[in-house]
Amino acid sequence: DRSPSRGLGDVYKRQLLKLGISLVNMDQKEQGCVTFIQLKDTYPNANTAVLDRGKLEIEKNGCEIS
């Protein structure tokens, strides 16, 4: 099984972060913010570097967390 929850989880989480950054860079800030928040909420135990960068992107882009 190669689902995100097994084996490829760290890769998936990094790619989710990169997706959010790409969306912001393509002037789709709202969708980028949703992606960063989804990463934080769905994977609170992800790699610290990925979570820290996600938090930085949330702050840098003024994403609103409800």
Task: Tell me the three-class secondary structure of 17-43, residue by residue.
Answer: HHHHHHHHHCCCHHHHHHHHHHHHHHC
pLDDT at residue 7, rounded to an integer? 56
Three-state SS for 4? coil
pLDDT at residue 8, rounded to an integer? 65
Question: Amino acid identity of 12?
Answer: Y
pLDDT at residue 65, rounded to an integer? 75
What pTM was estimated for this model as a whole?
A: 0.82
- At 36-60, the pLDDT tens digits run 999 999 999 999 999 999 999 999 9
Distance between CA atoms of residues 66 and 64, nearest Å: 6
Q: Which two tokens stand for residue 18?
A: 């990169």
Helix (H) or strand (E) holding 52: helix 48-60
- At 6-18, the pLDDT tens digits run 556 788 999 999 9
